[in-house]
Amino acid sequence: MQEEIIISGFGGQGALFAGQLLAYAAMDQGYHVTWIPSYGPEMRGGKARCTVVISDEEIGSPLVRRPSSAIVLNIPSMEAFEPAVKPGGVLVVNSSLVPQKSERDDIRVFYLPATDIATELGNVRLANVVCLGALVRATGILPLEAVKQALDKHLPERYRTLLALNNQALDRGAACVR
Amino acid sequence: MAKELIEGNVAIAEAAIRAGLEAFYGYPITPQTEILEHLSWRMPQEGRVFLQAESEIASINMVYGAACAGVRVMTSSSSPGISLMQEGFSYIACSEVPAVVINVMRGGPGLGNVQPSQGDYFQAVKMAGHGDFHMIALAPASVQEAIDLVVLAFDLADRYRTIAMVVADGAIGQMMEPAELPPMRPVRRPEERPTWALTGAKGRKPNIITSLYLSAETLERVNLALQAKLRRIAAQETRWKEYRTEDAELLLVAFGTVGRICQTVVREARALGMRVGLLRPITLWPFPSTRLAALASRGRGILVVEMNAGQMVEDVRLAVEGCCPVQSYGRMGGVIPLPDEILPELKNM
């Protein structure tokens, strides 16, 4: 088993954190995992993305051109990664900020108003976690419970007060996948 | 100790602390600044020295001074900063004092960019500075290996009184992987400093550490001794890893990040029925020439993949002495070659 996930958005949308959360959950479940960010002279509002590879054997390349699934949090990410997802793969689209639809019929696409859901939950910054809930449910890479345990175990101390909200965000995202 | 998800740069810094690093001198530069960031609070926490110098030239000369005093010392930088340190490397080599240097390579030449590169291969293995010397050059392909090689770098530097450089790249520095840190070693006490160190000469004859020998005959003797030491290192410390070479008729040779990417290429090629293996040098100097020659003698071709214009390929060609064709595939400027472009190169052989 090997899954490659690209999570992409604006800096500040939490693409990197969502990827780390997934990586922690995979590690805790005993998988090999790599997390690699795009990096450069960038800032809030610039582009931010990471690639997570989860495998039951030692991971060779930590980077892929064609991921098995992707989360796109904004329009430029949709343009870059909607064509890249492997046939049979999963694409999770933050439809609050991405109006266009995928024209592909060889992948499963889930449109979530993630930013609206996050705002409704009380914190706009949860859109990344909403999308992660959907991706985890849609791909079945890991049980959603594993991601919740990883949150509990690895969420930095200063964000502990947001634990319950993050769990709700995961559930709301997962509920969008039917 | 349990594995934790840890970033390459932070892992390198923490591994150095646990290996007994007593003093760090450096200057920030992307993509390795997290090494300094981590050490800037962890070193004082452990009661050790962290100093951000005014430049890379100052950093390496502070390293030289601390090394002369028998202190376990390290600096880190990325490509342009390493170029600035080269005069110091040469002085340290001639003075035969131990030091660890980290190079998290980025795209060049010039100011270049901050993306991963292997463009400093020649610099690390052939032209570390003026004069006749080599540094031990260790190339990690994962966060765990970066940790292990930092610890090894300190041990080899001490054992041979030489510079050991960990040659990583931006991808290793920035990526996170589960890895296990080594246990904390005790820091050397002042009375445990090496006998050659400059420790004040109370009750003993003064030690002299220098790289200045005005007599040609004397300097030649110093050089001969240095060369003998380098031959000993080459004989004892050459390291590499092989993957599926047992029946390989085509061999990939790649190091660091590209080495692990080529592991994926081997799997994909094997799935197509091709008999492909991988040799990944861990020490870039000394280079695993003997083993490479043995593998080449029973294969029908070698493809060397690098994030540069083709530098290590020269050492591969020297090693195999024309006994099989050697091709080169390189990407430059911070572009990382991926399996889907390497596999066709392999098929064309």
**Number of other residues whose CB lies within 10 A of the CB of residue A136:** 26
Domain boundary among B192, B214, B229: B192
Q: How far is CA A121 from the centre of its chain?
A: 18
Examine the domain organization and report whether B40 and B114 are in the same domain.
yes
Q: For residues A131 and A73, is the Cβ–Cβ distance under 8 A?
A: yes
Give B-chain residues touching A27 at CB under 8 angstroms. 3, 5, 178
Tens digits of residue pLDDT in B233-290? 999 999 999 999 999 999 999 999 999 999 999 999 999 999 999 999 999 999 999 9
B338–A64 CB contact, under 8 Å: yes
Nearest 5°: the CA angle B84, B85, B86 is: 95
A27–B3 CB contact, under 8 Å: yes
| pLDDT greater than 60 at residue B45 | yes
Examine the domain organization and report whether B178 and B45 are in the same domain.
yes
Examine the domain organization and report whether B40 and B188 are in the same domain.
yes
Start-end of H helices in A34-159: 75-81, 114-121, 127-139, 144-154
A60–B338 CB contact, under 8 Å: no
Place of tokens 């340190």: B85
B260–A61 CB contact, under 8 Å: yes
Contact of B338 with chain A, judged by CB distance below 8 Å, is answered with yes
Q: How far apart are CA B159 and CA B291, in angstroms?
A: 24
Backbone CA torsion sign across A61, A66, A67, A70:
positive
State how far residue B338 is from chain A, nearest Cα, in angstroms: 7
Q: How far apart are CA B122 and CA B83, in angstroms?
A: 12
Going by C-alpha positions, the residue among B307, B326, B323 that lies closest to residue B315 is B326
Domain boundary among B134, B161, B192: B192
Residue type for A176, please? Answer: C
Examine the domain organization and report whether B74 and B184 are in the same domain.
yes
A27–B5 CB contact, under 8 Å: yes
A63–B336 CB contact, under 8 Å: yes
Domain boundary among B192, B218, B250: B192
Going by C-alpha positions, the residue among B59, B69, B47 that lies closest to residue B209 is B69
Examine the domain organization and report whether B251 and B167 are in the same domain.
no
pLDDT of residue B98: 98
B210: in domain: no
Mean pLDDT of B165-184: 98
Task: Give me the count of residues in chain A.
Answer: 178
B233: in domain: no
Task: Compute the 3-state secondary structure of chain A and give helix, strand, coil in percent, each to the nearest 5.
Answer: 40, 20, 35
Contact of B3 with chain A, judged by CB distance below 8 Å, is answered with yes
Examine the domain organization and report whether B175 and B273 are in the same domain.
no
| pLDDT greater than 60 at residue B229 | yes
B60: in domain: yes
In chain A the domains, ranked by start, together with CATH numbers, are: 2-175 (3.40.920.10)
Examine the domain organization and report whether B13 and B141 are in the same domain.
yes
Q: Which residue has the higher pLDDT, B329 or A155?
A: B329
B contact residues 116-175, partner A, Cβ 8 Å cutoff: 170-171, 174-175
Give B-chain residues touching A58 at CB under 8 angstroms. 263
B203: in domain: no
Going by C-alpha positions, the residue among A57, A70, A58, A66 that lies closest to residue A22 is A70
Written in H, E and C, the secondary structure of chain B is CCCEEEEHHHHHHHHHHHCCCCEEEECCCCCCHHHHHHHHHHHHHCCCEEEECCCHHHHHHHHHHHHHCCCCEEEEECHHHHHHCHHHHHHHHHHCCCEEEEEEEECCCCCCCCCECCCCHHHHHCCCCCCCCCCEEECCCCHHHHHHHHHHHHHHHHHHCCEEEEEEEHHHHHCEEEECCCCCCCCCCHHHCCCCCCCCCCCCCCCCCCCCCCCHHHHHHHHHHHHHHHHHHHHHCCCEEEECCCCCCEEEECCHHHHHHHHHHHHHHHHCCCCEEEEEECEEECCCHHHHHHHHHCCCEEEEEECCCCCHHHHHHHHHCCCCCEEEEECCCCCCCCHHHHHHHHHCC
Examine the domain organization and report whether B185 and B251 are in the same domain.
no
Q: For residue B186, what is the domain's CATH number?
A: 3.40.50.970
Mean pLDDT of B108-127: 97
Residue type for A178, please? Answer: R
Q: Number of folded domains in chain B?
A: 2
B174: in domain: yes
Place of tokens 């939490």: A14
Residue A101, beta-bridge partner list: none
Examine the domain organization and report whether B124 and B249 are in the same domain.
no
Examine the domain organization and report whether B58 and B155 are in the same domain.
yes
Nearest chain A residue to B3 by CA distance is: A27
B268: in domain: yes
Place of tokens 């240097």: B101
Half-sphere exposure of B94 (CA within 13 A, CB side): 19
Give A-chain residues touching B261 at CB under 8 angstroms. 60-61, 63
Tokens of A72: 């796109």
B178–A20 CB contact, under 8 Å: no
Q: How far apart are CA A79 and CA A91, in angstroms?
A: 12
B124: in domain: yes
Task: Give me the residue from B177, B265, B338 closest to A34, CB to CB.
Answer: B177
State how far residue A157 is from chain B, nearest Cα, in angstroms: 17
Examine the domain organization and report whether B134 and B278 are in the same domain.
no
pLDDT of residue B1: 57
Give the H or E element holding residue A99: none
Q: How far apart are CA A113 and CA B304, in angstroms?
A: 47
Examine the domain organization and report whether B31 and B169 are in the same domain.
yes
pLDDT tens digit at each of 178 positions of chain A = 999 999 999 999 999 999 999 999 999 999 999 999 998 776 777 889 999 999 999 999 999 999 999 999 999 999 999 999 999 999 999 999 999 999 999 999 999 999 999 999 999 999 999 999 999 999 999 999 999 999 999 988 998 999 999 999 999 999 999 8
φ/ψ of residue A93, rounded to 5: -115, 130
B230: in domain: no
pLDDT of residue B197: 97
pLDDT of residue A156: 86
Q: How far is CA B58 from the centre of its chain?
A: 21
Q: For residue B315, what is the domain's CATH number?
A: 3.40.50.920
Range of the domain at B15: 4-192
